[in-house]
Every structure is written in C-alpha cells, then in structure tokens.
A and B are shown apart, each in its own frame.
Chain A
Amino acid sequence: MRIEYVIKRLFYCFLAFFVGISITFVILHLMPGDYISHLLINIESTISPEASEAFKHKFGLDKSLTEQYFIYIDNLLQGDWGYSFEYGVPILNIVVEKLRWTLILLIPATLLSLLIGVFIGAYFGWKSGSKLDLSVLNVMIFIRAIPSYWWALMFVLIFGFYLGLFPLGGYMGIGVLESGTDYLDILHHSLLPMITLTLCSIPGNYYLMRNSMLLTVGEDYIITARGKGLSEKDILFKHTVKNAMLPMVTMITLELVFMISGSVFIETIFSWPGMGMLMIDAMNARDLPLLQGIFLMDTLLIIIANFTADMLYSCIDPRVKVGE
C-alpha cells in the first residue's frame, strides 16, 4: 500500500513537471523580442545578416517552434539543458552555481520564518481574542501588505546607508581580493537580504498556524484532554500543536513558491548573485534557453518540496498512511 502511494505521487510529480516545462516554453516564446534584436541595439549595423542567419541556424532558431519544442524535450530527457546565448556555457552549470547562492538565503529564511511564524501563530491561536493578539494580527497584515522590495529598499536605506551596519549590496567585500574567501564576510553580506526574506514570509506562516490553532482548540478532543486533568501546557503541546501543524506541512511548499519569487526582487536589490538576479539578467538579454533553465530548476525545486511534504504528511498524520 505504501509503495503504491509513493509510485502514484511520483507519477503525479512527473506529470506536473512535464506540464510545467511545457507551459514555460510556450509563455517564454510569447515574449516579444529575441536575443539577436537585443544584441543589435548594442552593435547596431556592424552585424551582417549572414552572421545573424548563421547564429539562428547554429542554435536551431530557424526551425519551427513545434520542432524546437520536441528537440528541447528530447535534450532534457538526455540531461542536456542547452547552452546559454549570453554566457556560451552549459545552462546547468550556471544554474547550479547560482542556485547555491540563492539557497544560502532561501534555506535559513524558510526555516526561520517557519519557526517564528508557527511559534507566534500557535501562541496567539491558543490565546486568541486578547488585545495583544489583535495588535500582532494587525502588525502581520501590515508586513504582508507591503511588497518585499519596499522592505528591502527600506532596510538598505536604514541599516546599510544611515546606520552603516551592513553593506549596501553584493556578496563579498573588496578585501577578498587580497585575503581570499572570507565566510564571515559572506555571512555579513547575506544577513540583510536574509532578514528581509524572512520577515516577508513570517505573516503567511503565522496566519495559517493561528487559524489552524483556532480550529483545533474548538475540537472535542481538547475537552477530553482537559477532562483527563492535563495542564494547559500539556494540552497545548501534546494535543493541539501537532494537530494544528498538519496544514502547515502543505503550506511549506506554497511558501517556497512565494519565497522564490520574492527572492527575485530581493536579490536584485541587494545585488545578490543568485537565481533571482540571473533571471532578471536573462530576461533583459532575452536569453530564452537560460530563462527556460531557471524556470526548470524552480519547477524542480517546488515539485521536490511538494513530494517531500506529501511523504512527510503521511508520517505525521497516521490517517494518510493507507494512501487514500
């Protein structure tokens, strides 16, 4: 039964992946402009039509879109993500390199925002209705209502520019040219974007946890627990939080989507050399293969997270084990 469930989930993952890359392919080719016309702006008339034709032929751009699509899928299945127009190197290499930098921000930010959001949400879901609860709720709405790039700009302005506590952007100080890689320096540079990303993701986790707590607190089995003479603390931790956490597992996946899109803005503002900034560059250069590669990686990440959440869910909630 368990194995069947895993296979079924894996099949859906594959389906989602396939649909995802197909939609990305279509949308990217709907974009106006192409790499050549982007280059032409810079080098104007120095490029000959023959060279342009040769370029198109080399990358297979003279073939029909349908043909390109099938070639792309065929290559993908063989593990070939294609070449970037702009960098002239295999896309997988660039994406993996940039992904490392993004994950430096994304992993701590996801974990921290989950931890803080769940904790605050659980506490105020338990003690709902107090004045403090309402104030926290309003603060959370405020944080969420303002886009992440505004927070990023404000933080750069206040903590970077006025207070001088953090660098204004980038990922390493100029000093590394002499002393070599300094991990503390990287940490120092990463702190502000990480905090911004964390802050903007806390409210989502908080809302869900608080709501879930409110629902769980009203359940009959909480009365049973109280009827056994358990202390409020035991009821909270042993009977409520675990049940209220169930929807959170699914939320982590959704949150990751939010974080990946949020990191595009934040990386751009902080000049952080991750996937987000790579995406903006590739977009501007109309480097379609690279864009396709970036979205492919995002799709993969989300699908893996989703799959993990599904598997995790069946571990936390005994009722899912049957694989219904």
Chain B
Amino acid sequence: MSLLRIIGLKAYFPTQDGIVKAVNTVDLEIEKNERVGLIGETGCGKTVLGFAIMRLLQPSTNIEGRIMYNGKDLLKLSEEEMRKIRGKEIAMIFQNPPTFLNPVLKIGYQIAESTQLHQGLDKKAAKEKAVGMLEAVKIPLSSKRVSEYPHQFSGGMKERAMIAMGLACDPSLIIADEPTKGLDITIKMQIVKLMKEVTRQGSMLFITHDLGVAAEICDNIAVMYAGELVEYAKTEDIFKNPMHPYTRGFLNSLPSRGLKQIRGISPSLIDLPSGCRFHPRCDHIEEVCKNWHPEMVECDKGHYVRCLQYG
C-alpha cells in the first residue's frame, strides 16, 4: 500500500471573475521512502495541490476526489483529526520563509511548538530539541541562534529554520513547496544537499519549477501543466526521454540546453483551452488536439504521458 494516494483530486476556487480550476483531476501516488518531484510553471496549481493535501485551502474551495493517506481519506477527516496529522505525520515546508515565519516569535519557539504539541515534550526538552534541529540543518551556534528572531537570520538561514520546523516531529511525508525559491545559487545548492540528506528516511513531495533541483533530489518526477499532470516517470527517464511536448519544451528552456522558451503564455486557470490543454502552445498540433482531451497512458514501464501522439 502506498503512503499517499491521490485519486481524481480537483480543487476549484470561486472568484469574482469565474471559477479558478487550479487542480484538475490529479492522480498521484507516493510510496514510503519515495521522493516525488512536482514540477511546472508558476501558477499551474502545484502549490494548491500541496495545500490541498494539508487541507490548508480556504473553506470556500471546492475540493473533490480522494486523498488516501495510510488508508484514510484525508478529505473525510474531521478538523480535529486532521490537526493530529498536520505537522506530525505530514509536514509542509513553505516557500518564502520571510512571510511564513512569525516575525515576533523566536525561531526556537516556532520550532519547539509542534514538538510540544505532538510529542508532548515539556518546554525545556522542546527547546533542546529545537537546538538539535537547528544543528541538523547546519545552522552554526545553534544554541544561541535558537533564541533569535527571524529578522536576525539571513535568507538561507530562514529557509533552513523552515526546514527544521517541518522536520521537527519526524513526519512520514514532507511536502516541500519551492524551498529553493529566491535563494542565490550557492545557497540553493547547500539547501538541496541538506534536503537530500534530511529526507533520506521518509517520503517527500517536492514542489518546484526548478528542474535541476528536482533532478538532484527526486526519484520520480510528475510534470504539471494547467492544473493536471501531463507526464510522470523516473527522474532519469524524464531527462533522457521526455515524451510530452511540454516537458520537452520545459527541458529546452534550461540554461544548459539553450534557454529556448516555449511560445505563448500559460493558460488562465479560469478559461482552460479545449481539448489538450497544451495545444495552443504545442509544435506538434493536429486537428484532433483541439477537441479531444487526452488521458494519461503508460507508454513505457512506469512512464505515463498525456498526449495524443502516444494514445
């Protein structure tokens, strides 16, 4: 049995301009000790998917489908039961630590909070644990740093603190939402190394738009476009043999492969294109692509693609 199994997940937000279909029928599985990368452009629904698993979306969001975690459907749990899972079994590492860390609380307190809550540690033990966590994410002078506030930390250190917060209770699943966003390249590589190290045991859903980072960390990669998955395969297969035109375009846009951009802009999630969602930007478009919405098909062993070329 897989640790997390998402079946037919949809997340729609009602807004004044119409319904934003941020996640559209996503199926995804994460095994124990598996690290899955979820990649896609900004605004394709990656973060919403992560938030949906944690059930952190606004109450007005329409969520359909099932999110099976250890045999339980997270969407059917009461708020009370869900609270016992958040932070303890599934933890999220949020993007943009400057706004996701509370500016008036000490870093140590913010890390200790969840261990006090979920592991029943007393104040002193929780603080010691927080020092240990900061050490684990390689923050120097951790016993002093633990009593400092977020504004006293540098950008990279805030990210480390955020990771320490997520890992504090040894969760079985970590959802990391672009933990390397906005960091400069040397710090980014340090964080990637750290993430790889600290998640050796345990599963992770690694959300990013950075293919290079995903390649470093993940076993499998799911490519998301306009709210749905368009390709899923082992990391090396994605790089060696990308099948979906979007994945190929995405790879070609890497600096090492010539920075070729995909023409057009990513579609609005309110007004999705008919047929294949990618057809307005695709180079291999045929008449049928405009009307027929392709399904995910397994082309190679463990390599799934949503494209009519392969169906």
Min C-beta distance of A172 to chain B, whole Å = 47
Query: Which of B99, B114, B151 contacts A228, CB < 8 Å?
Result: B114
| Interfacial chain A residues near B91, Cβ < 8 Å | 227-228
A224 and B94 contact, CB distance less than 8 A: yes
With the chains together, A36 CA to B102 CA distance in Å?
63
Asked if A53 is at the interface of the complex by the 8 Å CB criterion, the answer is no
A229 and B102 contact, CB distance less than 8 A: no
With the chains together, A246 CA to B102 CA distance in Å?
13
B56 and A226 contact, CB distance less than 8 A: yes
B104 and A242 contact, CB distance less than 8 A: yes
Given contacts A220-B99, A224-B94, contact A243 B87 (CB under 8 A): no
Given contacts A227-B91, A229-B84, contact A318 B151 (CB under 8 A): yes
Query: Which of A229, A234, A239, A316 contacts B86, CB < 8 Å?
Result: A229
B118 and A221 contact, CB distance less than 8 A: no
Asked if B19 is at the interface of the complex by the 8 Å CB criterion, the answer is no
Considering the complex, give the chain B residue whose CB is closest to the CB of A223: B56
| Interfacial chain A residues near B96, Cβ < 8 Å | 220
Query: Which of A221, A227, A318, A319 contacts B92, CB < 8 Å?
Result: A227
B94 and A227 contact, CB distance less than 8 A: yes
Query: Which of B85, B99, B100, B110 contacts A229, CB < 8 Å?
Result: B85
1/0 contact trace for B147-160 toward A, CB 8 Å? 00101000000000
Min C-beta distance of A236 to chain B, whole Å = 13
| Interfacial chain B residues near A228, Cβ < 8 Å | 86-87, 91, 113-114, 117, 165
| Interfacial chain A residues near B114, Cβ < 8 Å | 228-230
Min C-beta distance of A237 to chain B, whole Å = 12
User: Which size bracket describes the interface of A in this complex?
Assistant: 20 to 34
Query: Which of B54, B56, B84, B102 contacts A221, CB < 8 Å?
Result: B102
Given contacts A318-B151, A319-B149, A319-B151, contact A230 B102 (CB under 8 A): no
Q: Which of B98-138 contact A (CB under 8 A)?
A: 99-105, 110, 113-114, 117-118
Asked if A219 is at the interface of the complex by the 8 Å CB criterion, the answer is yes
Given contacts A230-B113, A230-B117, A319-B149, contact A225 B54 (CB under 8 A): no
A227 and B104 contact, CB distance less than 8 A: no
Min C-beta distance of B49 to chain A, whole Å = 15
With the chains together, A229 CA to B165 CA distance in Å?
12
Question: Using a Cβ–Cβ cut-off of 8 Å, how many residues does chain B contribute to the interface with A?
Answer: 27
Min C-beta distance of B282 to chain A, whole Å = 36
| Interfacial chain A residues near B110, Cβ < 8 Å | 224
B86 and A221 contact, CB distance less than 8 A: no
Min C-beta distance of A259 to chain B, whole Å = 28
Asked if A185 is at the interface of the complex by the 8 Å CB criterion, the answer is no
With the chains together, A227 CA to B94 CA distance in Å?
9
With the chains together, A238 CA to B102 CA distance in Å?
10
Asked if A78 is at the interface of the complex by the 8 Å CB criterion, the answer is no
Binding site for A on B (CB under 8 A): 54, 56, 83-88, 91-92, 94, 96, 99-105, 110, 113-114, 117-118, 149, 151, 165
Closest 6 CB pairs of A and B: A229-B87, A229-B86, A228-B87, A220-B99, A221-B102, A318-B149
Question: Can you list 15 A-B contacts (CB < 8 A)?
Answer: A221-B100, A223-B100, A224-B110, A227-B87, A227-B91, A227-B92, A228-B86, A228-B117, A229-B83, A238-B113, A239-B102, A242-B104, A317-B104, A318-B149, A319-B104
